């Protein structure tokens, strides 16, 4: 009956009846360690890492909304009957923490949400206002999608826009009822869980994508979870510290690991991606500094610097790189302009 109902509603409302495995691909990474790789969505979900202890589970990051976290919880229940007792928020961005409430509500006996002290403060002081801002601005985004849908003539494009519209409406409705759930355990530099079968090191190694990013490191399994300090897409730099980020990646790279679960994109092997990001940040900052020293306007810098960076890097990042790089140049210009 449930299936019939689901089938029926699937015909009416495709976006509201997604099965759990429609949101994440679960990939075994090491013994008792899984990557939940988020499938593409209009409002992105981050990846999660799932770490099984003898008597409990630790999950890294909670996606953009509680329903996405609940979808992952259903997947986790297929892997183990142990309760989730620890959740880590790698940083304060919306697509990594807004699903927090799903965990304590699924295991009311006790879930500790762990983050750096900076990330907890960021969620409280910057995350919550951003949720409120999004509730106010989403209706315009939805109107734009509707007008794009009216104008679209290509069938495939229409279908995509219709799916996006449904997701956007469902997201806004859910966002209005989100109860922002702050981390319950915080630390300055490191917090280590010593469990019989696994040791998990949660490490703040310096400013990077934000001032609060943590890495989750499993020394025995040689797995590193990096949040958005390193992932498979183009780095988003809006709240970042570009020069510190290079140093922080250097520090992370010194750890002994074989596999990396990033905040977005597929599981990565080795340290190649660390080198790519560091080179990219150095080139970005050098090129932007040169343009700034020449007295180029931001607009001119965006044009000139993006040309150089696209030629060098577009094949190495995701297809959205030419667009994302513009935002990164604006950030670089801002950082350089305020340098002493």
Ranges of beta strands (E only) in the chain are 24-30, 33-38, 48-52, 57-60, 84-88, 112-116, 185-187, 190-194, 199-203, 215-218, 223-227, 259-262, 268-269
Question: To the nearest whole angstrom, how small is the minimum distance from the Cβ of residue 158 to Zn ion?
Answer: 29
Q: Which is nearer to Zn ion, 38 or 193 (CB)?
A: 38
Binding interface with Zn ion (CB under 5 A): 46, 95, 228, 263
Question: To the nearest whole angstrom, how small is the minimum distance from the Cβ of residue 316 to Zn ion?
Answer: 19
CA atoms of 233 and 24, how far apart (whole Å): 17
Residue 194, classified by CB atoms within 10 Å of its CB into exposed (0-12), middle (13-18) or buried (19+), is exposed
Q: Which is nearer to Zn ion, 60 or 288 (CB)?
A: 60
Q: Which is nearer to Zn ion, 181 or 226 (CB)?
A: 226
CA atoms of 98 and 134, how far apart (whole Å): 12
Question: To the nearest whole angstrom, how small is the minimum distance from the Cβ of residue 100 to Zn ion?
Answer: 15
CA atoms of 139 and 161, how far apart (whole Å): 15
Residue 65's SS3 state is coil
Q: Which is nearer to Zn ion, 46 or 284 (CB)?
A: 46
CA atoms of 242 and 227, how far apart (whole Å): 16
Question: To the nearest whole angstrom, how small is the minimum distance from the Cβ of residue 127 to Zn ion?
Answer: 13
Q: Which is nearer to Zn ion, 300 or 318 (CB)?
A: 318
Question: To the nearest whole angstrom, how small is the minimum distance from the Cβ of residue 64 to Zn ion?
Answer: 9
């Amino acid at each position: 009956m449930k299936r019939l109902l689901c089938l029926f509603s699937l015909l009416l409302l495709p976006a509201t009846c997604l099965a759990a495995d429609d949101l994440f691909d679960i990939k075994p990474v090491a013994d008792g360690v899984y990557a939940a790789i988020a499938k593409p969505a209009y409002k992105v979900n981050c990846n999660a890492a799932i770490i099984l202890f003898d008597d409990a589970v630790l999950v890294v990051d909670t996606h953009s909304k509680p329903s996405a976290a609940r979808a992952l919880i259903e997947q986790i229940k297929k892997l183990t009957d142990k309760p989730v007792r620890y959740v880590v928020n790698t940083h304060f961005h919306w697509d990594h923490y807004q699903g927090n409430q799903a965990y304590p509500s699924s295991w009311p006996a006790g879930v500790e949400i762990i983050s750096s002290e900076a990330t907890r403060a960021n969620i409280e002081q910057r995350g919550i206002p951003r949720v409120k801002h999004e509730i106010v601005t989403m209706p315009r985004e939805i109107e734009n999608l509707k007008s794009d849908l009216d104008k679209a003539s290509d069938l495939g494009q229409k279908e995509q826009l219709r799916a996006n519209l449904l997701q956007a409406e469902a997201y806004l409705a859910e966002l209005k009822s989100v109860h922002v759930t702050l981390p319950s355990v915080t630390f300055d530099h490191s917090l280590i869980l010593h469990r019989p079968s696994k040791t998990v090191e949660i490490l703040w190694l310096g400013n990077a994508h934000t001032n609060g990013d943590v890495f989750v490191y499993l020394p025995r399994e040689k797995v590193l979870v990096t949040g958005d300090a390193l992932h498979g897409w183009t780095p988003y730099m809006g709240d970042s510290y570009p020069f510190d980020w290079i140093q922080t990646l250097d520090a992370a790279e010194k750890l002994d690991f074989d596999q990396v679960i990033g905040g977005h994109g597929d599981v990565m092997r080795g340290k190649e991606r660390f080198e790519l990001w560091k080179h990219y940040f150095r080139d970005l900052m050098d090129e932007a500094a040169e343009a700034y020293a020449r007295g180029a306007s931001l607009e001119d810098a965006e044009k000139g610097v993006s040309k150089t960076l696209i030629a060098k890097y577009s094949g190495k990042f995701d297809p959205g790189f030419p667009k994302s790089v513009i935002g990164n140049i604006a950030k670089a210009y801002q950082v350089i302009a305020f340098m002493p």
